[in-house]
Amino acid sequence: MIAWLNFASLVISSLIFLFLYIKSVSPAAMEKKIGEIAYKKAGQYRIAASILMFIIFANYILYYFYPLPLPLSKTFAWGWTISIVIGVLISLLGGSLMFRGIKDAGEETMVPKKGHTLYGGIYKYLRHPQALGEVTLWWAFAFFLNSPFLVIWSFVYIPIFALMCFYEEKDLVIRYGDTYRNYRDNTGLFIPRKGSCD
């Protein structure tokens, strides 16, 4: 029973996380309906989405102790050491992308601001370094827990993060217009490419 309740929580939390994050990256669209308070609301949605991420991580941990009764091994055959090494490698790669994106985005990572300009740094080469780095961390965590099911489940976050980026870009077009369209057309989405909008 605990296994199924935890899995239900994992699914529901993931869907709520998606909803809240989409709201958090849509301040310009919200502003048309509720005015400038939309940016503050977007920040609140971002914090709520972050809390949901911690709940999902807790679901991952609980899954290790209470796996679903599936015809799938609870752990990888190669043992925990190899899984930890894989997890560390993924964390180093994904974490460095995510933290570089956070550094270059500054406070707008958690608090959207109406007057903010487009970012520099890594954003000159890649439009969504934070999302790309963050999505890989689900696999890192799954490998740390040595769980084949969680590694497979982590693929669910590819369309979730892709949708988040899609809605964020829609909102950035509203905020910045042709400036963002030009940036988008000349800078890689998830594959680094030097943009022409320096």
- CB 41, CB 24: distance < 8 Å: no
Give SS3 for 181.
Answer: helix
- CB 25, CB 42: distance < 8 Å: yes
What is the rounded average pLDDT of the residues 126-132? 90
Average pLDDT over all residues of the chain: 91
User: Comparing 193 with 197, which gets the higher pLDDT?
Assistant: 193
Give residue 167's pLDDT: 95
Model confidence at 26, in pLDDT bands (50, 70, 90)? very high
Percent of all residues in the chain with a pLDDT value above 70, rounded to a whole number? 97
Side-chain-facing half-sphere of 81: CA atoms under 13 Å: 0
Query: Which residues, at least 6 apart from 152, have a Cβ–Cβ distance to it below 8 Å?
Result: none
CATH topology for 2-67+79-186 is Four Helix Bundle (Hemerythrin (Met), subunit A) (1.20.120)
Query: pTM of the prediction?
Result: 0.87
Helices (H), ranges, 25-79: 27-34, 37-65
Instruction: Report whether pLDDT(195) > 70.
Output: no
Give residue 197's pLDDT: 44
Instruction: Report whether pLDDT(76) > 50.
Output: yes
Model confidence at 57, in pLDDT bands (50, 70, 90)? very high
Structure tokens at 51: 């809390």
